[in-house]
């Protein structure tokens, strides 16, 4: 079978790239290893409304579980800051339904999707194009989009570098009912004892339900279980909670890979390290860059030139639009995780006392946080805050 583009992986990045390419009239096949698109899921499902608008998608009611208007961020001491940015700052979606809905959109635009189709190899074919092989089928194609998520087995096999192990954090999450929380606020809990390298979260789903999760350098499930019973704030909010289901996953805290295209192939989404390191969120930024990948493939197909040189426009566009933002978020996350609990307490307290939260409220963007971070860094009050926090850099890191 001959295709213009084979997309490997029916996550959001693969499906958004597929939609772009199919919409331009090209012959597209998406290959997904699982039986059902969107399953098994592992995501907290928090997506900014502005990000969804940039992606030019408006989730249908069936996909949306809740909307949130802001976040409460807890320091290890329990002291918290509240960042509210207006109604409907973000949607909480059910990723199983969200991904299936994206798949339906891709099919409506003309893409084909084959589930239970695990890609084993990508090889060069005799005609100078590529052959994508599943266990029972070969697909000849002019171009390939690798959207295999965090695993990066295929991208590595064709020569791309991969996100390093140290940038992958184990995560665990429960869906619970009977929680005592504010239904329109996301809550984030920081602390080296609680979640070294990341944080714990409570995301409200409405009607007393929530996703409660934690990612950390190690032992994420053990740490989460212990927080449910022992953390002074989390345990109180979940005192009467009943666990409905649990799910594990891997959160990426990384910068984008420096090369994301070669002859005939682009890598997108988590595979390319397109995530916000401050939160591990990758649906919006992975989707935006996957759409760029789709556009670049469209023009390559149009000109019948799938060379690395032609496809490198994808690298250049991602770099000029997003890399600075993503690198700034990565450096910020690294700086935060280098602090002891006292340092984190000091930052949260000082940010409030010095009036820096107004800058965040005014300038903050849930997805592209680089701008507000740079604004904060250039503020003399942040210099004072950093000087105070520097006393608490962990010397053992």
Binding site for ligand FAD (CB under 6 A): 8-14, 31-34, 42-47, 118-119, 147-149, 151, 154, 171, 173, 213, 249-251, 269-270, 275, 280-284, 286
CB of 341 to ligand FAD, least distance (A): 23
| DSSP symbols for 297-333 | HHHHHHHT---HHHHHHHHHHHIIIIIHHHHHHHHHH
Q: Report the residue number, 284 or 292, with the smaller CB distance to ligand FAD.
A: 284
CB of 171 to ligand FAD, least distance (A): 4
Q: In 3D, which of 201, 141, 185 has the Cα closest to residue 1?
A: 141
Q: Report the residue number, 102 or 347, with the smaller CB distance to ligand FAD.
A: 102
Q: Report the residue number, 16 or 347, with the smaller CB distance to ligand FAD.
A: 16
Secondary structure of residue 54 in the 3-state scheme: helix
Q: Report the residue number, 95 or 231, with the smaller CB distance to ligand FAD.
A: 95
Q: In 3D, which of 56, 14, 69, 67 has the Cα closest to residue 37?
A: 14
Q: Report the residue number, 142 or 276, with the smaller CB distance to ligand FAD.
A: 276
CB of 247 to ligand FAD, least distance (A): 7
CB of 312 to ligand FAD, least distance (A): 21
Q: How distant, in Å, are the alpha carbons of 97, 181, 322, 359, 371 from that of 378?
A: 42, 36, 20, 12, 11
Q: In 3D, which of 303, 304, 301, 309 has the Cα closest to residue 259?
A: 309
Tell me the Ramachandran region of residue 366: left when phi exceeds 0, alpha when psi lies from -120 to 50, beta otherwise. Answer: alpha
Q: Report the residue number, 322 or 347, with the smaller CB distance to ligand FAD.
A: 322
CB of 107 to ligand FAD, least distance (A): 16
Q: Report the residue number, 69 or 386, with the smaller CB distance to ligand FAD.
A: 69
CB of 313 to ligand FAD, least distance (A): 20
Sequence-distant (≥ 6) Cβ neighbours of residue 78 within 8 angstroms:
232, 233
Tokens of 45: 């499902």
For the chain, give the number of residues.
Answer: 397
| DSSP symbols for 244-267 | EEEEEEEEE--PPPS--EETTEEE
CB of 395 to ligand FAD, least distance (A): 30
């Amino acid at each position: 079978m001959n295709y213009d583009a084979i997309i490997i992986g029916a996550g959001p990045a693969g499906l958004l790239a597929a939609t772009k390419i199919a919409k331009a009239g090209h012959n597209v096949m998406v290959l997904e290893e699982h039986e059902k698109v969107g399953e098994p899921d592992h995501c907290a499902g928090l997506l900014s409304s502005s990000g969804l608008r940039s992606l030019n998608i408006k989730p249908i009611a069936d996909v949306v579980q809740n909307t949130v208007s802001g976040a409460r961020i807890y320091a290890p001491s329990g002291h918290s800051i509240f960042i509210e940015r207006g109604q409907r700052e973000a949607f909480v979606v059910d990723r199983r339904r969200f991904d299936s809905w994206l798949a339906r959109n891709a099919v409506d635009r003309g893409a084909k999707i084959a589930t239970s189709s695990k890609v084993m190899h990508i090889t060069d074919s005799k005609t100078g194009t590529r052959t994508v092989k599943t266990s029972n089928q070969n697909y000849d194609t002019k171009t390939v989009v690798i959207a295999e998520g965090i695993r990066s087995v295929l991208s590595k096999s064709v020569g791309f570098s991969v996100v390093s192990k140290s940038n992958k954090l184990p995560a665990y999450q429960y869906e619970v009912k009977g929680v005592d929380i504010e239904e329109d606020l996301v809550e984030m809990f920081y602390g080296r004892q609680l979640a070294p390298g990341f944080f714990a979260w409570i995301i409200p789903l409405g009607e007393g339900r929530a996703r409660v999760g934690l990612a950390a350098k190690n032992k994420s499930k053990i740490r989460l279980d212990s927080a449910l019973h022992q953390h002074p704030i989390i345990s109180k909010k979940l005192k009467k909670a009943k666990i409905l289901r649990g799910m594990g996953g891997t959160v990426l805290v990384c910068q984008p890979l420096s090369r994301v295209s070669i002859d005939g192939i682009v890598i997108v989404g988590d595979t390319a390290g397109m995530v916000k390191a401050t939160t591990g969120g990758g649906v919006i930024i992975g989707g935006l860059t996957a759409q760029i990948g789709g556009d670049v493939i469209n023009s390559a197909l149009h000109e019948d030139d799938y060379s690395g040189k032609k496809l490198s426009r994808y690298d250049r566009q991602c770099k000029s639009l997003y890399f600075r933002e993503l690198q700034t978020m990565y450096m910020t996350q690294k700086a935060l995780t280098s602090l002891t609990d006292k340092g984190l307490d000091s930052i949260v307290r000082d940010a409030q006392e010095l009036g820096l939260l107004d800058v965040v409220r005014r300038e903050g963007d849930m997805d592209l946080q680089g701008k507000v971070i740079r604004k904060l860094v250039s503020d003399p009050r942040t210099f004072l805050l950093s000087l105070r926090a520097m006393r608490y850099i962990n010397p053992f890191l």
